[in-house]
Amino acid sequence: MLIGAHISSAHGLFNAPLNAKKQGCECYQFFSRPPQGGPAPKISLSNLKKFKDINKKFGYQNFYLHAPYFINLASENNRIYYGSISVLREELERGSLLGAQYLMTHLGSAKDMSATEALKKVAAGLKKILADYHGSTQFLIEMSAGTGKIIGNNFEEISTIMHYTKYIIQKNIAVCFDTAHAFESGYDLRDEKSIKKIFEQFDKILGLKKLKLIHANDSKTELGSHLDRHEHLGWGKIGLDGFRALINEPRLKKINLIIETPADGKRVDDLKTLKDLRDKN
């Protein structure tokens, strides 16, 4: 189990591994393009070499891309829907070029269609994204907090989406489990018994082989709030007992953790907290 954080890649993608090293990350996650929108900066050969050289220097083999926030594969607006498909395919290709293990994304929200129609539309988008894709970066669905009509806030919904995709596509899709989002969606992560039950459910519904990464975030809001609000570890409603149990869960020993707690200077403390919990185990 490696422990890292979401890292800034501002002013050049090669700054991501530099910033990760400064913060004490063992693995890291970053945006390869502006998260709020806009074109992706071209990856020049010189910058690609610099990025790879720095990762090699610091021994980083595990790093991941997060898709921009505007993605919505359930949108009825074709500009947003097809734009999301295009961006996600482009990010998979960029990730493969950079050597990123995974690309994770939220799936979006459905406003004016039934739940079944929305899930089928998302699945159709995934098939378009992954059609004839032969890159090395794997596509991950990130669990959501379920605000409004957000897609993908429970295991059953993610399983249904996968069911609607063809087998060859389904093989290339896995899951990023976010502790804050799961808690806010009603999955109790506050103690050992609850965590064992949750991952038994995950295994039964999706299969633990589909779990590739965990976002380790505390929650500012209550269990089942459906409000996406991250908090520093131990400061929120999950609490340190929950993260201790998460790290001690035998089935998760080979799953890496990425912290996305508030970027207010205290994220380094969260990294230390998780490392201490792991190393004392």
Q: What is the pLDDT of residues 238-257, one digit of tens each?
A: 999 999 999 999 999 999 99
Q: What is the pLDDT of residues 204-228, one digit of tens each?
A: 999 999 999 999 999 999 999 998 8
Q: Using 50, 70 and 90 to split pLDDT, how confident is the model at 85?
A: very high
pTM equals 0.94
CA–CA dist 195, 133 (Å, integer): 35
CATH number at residue 114: 3.20.20.150
Residue 167 has pLDDT above 90, yes or no: no
- Asked if 217 and 265 touch (Cβ cutoff 8 Å), the reply is no
Residue 237 has pLDDT above 80, yes or no: yes
Write down the pLDDT at residue 150: 85
Q: What is the pLDDT of residues 7-53, one digit of tens each?
A: 999 889 999 999 999 999 999 999 999 988 888 999 999 999 999 99
Write down the pLDDT at residue 148: 67
Write down the pLDDT at residue 225: 92
Q: Using 50, 70 and 90 to split pLDDT, how confident is the model at 176?
A: very high
* Overall number of domains in the chain: 1
CA–CA dist 186, 254 (Å, integer): 25
- Asked if 20 and 64 touch (Cβ cutoff 8 Å), the reply is no
189: containing domain? 3-279
Q: What is the pLDDT of residues 101-153, one digit of tens each?
A: 999 999 998 887 888 899 999 999 999 999 999 999 999 999 998 776 788 88
Residue 269 has pLDDT above 90, yes or no: yes
CA–CA dist 197, 93 (Å, integer): 37
Burial annotation 55-92 (CB, 10 A radius, 16+ → b, else e): beeeebebbbbbbbebbbbbbeeeebbebbbebbbbbb
Q: Which helix (H) or strand (E) holds 272?
A: helix 267-279
**Tokens matching residue 225:** 């709030």
Write down the pLDDT at residue 45: 96
CA–CA dist 106, 175 (Å, integer): 11
Write down the pLDDT at residue 166: 83
